[in-house]
């Protein structure tokens, strides 16, 4: 069952593509941004998956314990940073949508393009 062994990576790939699809296909700017957020979350999942070691614990060294396996803490630290980046991107994007709504009165991409053509 080699394929099932990569269960987490399958989920990563599927979630990544779901997000990407939404970014490309959706016409509504908020939905596009949500797609982008899903797209980024998939990457977080990939990083978290790769630091998991079967039977391992948190990397805290205890006295007298020598045969313990530890998980790799670095990917979690990295992804913490990436989550912050993702949140700020989404926040900035939403702020842009608010301003687009104020300027155009719509957040549908087609409407915005049509209004630009007219002016």
If you search the block for the tokens 């002016």, which residue do you land on? 119
Q: Which of 69, 85, 87, 114 binds another protein (CB under 8 A)?
A: 85
* Closer residue to another protein (CB): 63 or 102: 102
Q: Is 81 in the site for another protein (CB under 8 A)?
A: yes
Q: Judged by CB under 8 A, how many residues of this single chain contact another protein? A: 31
Helical pair 74-104 and 29-50, crossing angle rounded to 10 deg: 180
- The secondary structure of residue 6, as a DSSP letter, is T
40 contacts 19 by C-beta, under 8 angstroms: yes
Q: Which residues contact 57 (CB under 8 A, 6 or more apart)?
A: 68, 69, 70, 71
Q: Is 11 in the site for another protein (CB under 8 A)?
A: no
* Closer residue to another protein (CB): 64 or 118: 118
* Closer residue to another protein (CB): 11 or 43: 43
* Closer residue to another protein (CB): 1 or 19: 19
- The secondary structure of residue 70, as a DSSP letter, is B
Q: Give, as ranges, the residues between 19 and 78 that touch another protein (CB under 8 A).
A: 20, 23, 29, 32, 36, 39-40, 43, 46-47, 50, 75, 78
Q: Which of 88, 108, 110, 114 binds another protein (CB under 8 A)?
A: 88
Interatomic CA distance for residues 119 and 114, integer angstroms? 9
109 contacts 56 by C-beta, under 8 angstroms: no
Interatomic CA distance for residues 94 and 88, integer angstroms? 10
Footprint of another protein (CB under 8 A): 16, 20, 23, 29, 32, 36, 39-40, 43, 46-47, 50, 75, 78, 81-82, 85, 88-89, 92-93, 96-97, 99-100, 103-104, 109, 112-113, 116
């Amino acid at each position: 069952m080699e394929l099932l062994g990569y269960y987490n990576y399958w989920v990563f790939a599927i979630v990544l593509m779901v997000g990407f699809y939404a970014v490309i296909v959706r016409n509504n700017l908020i939905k596009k941004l949500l797609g982008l957020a899903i797209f980024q979350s998939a990457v977080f999942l990939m990083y978290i998956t790769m630091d998991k070691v079967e039977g391992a614990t948190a990397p805290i060294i205890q006295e007298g314990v020598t045969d313990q396996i530890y998980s790799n803490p670095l990917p979690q630290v990295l992804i913490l940073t990436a989550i912050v980046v993702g949140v700020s991107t989404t926040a900035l994007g939403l702020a842009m949508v608010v301003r687009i709504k104020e300027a155009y009165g719509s957040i549908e991409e087609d409407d915005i393009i049509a209004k630009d053509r007219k002016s």
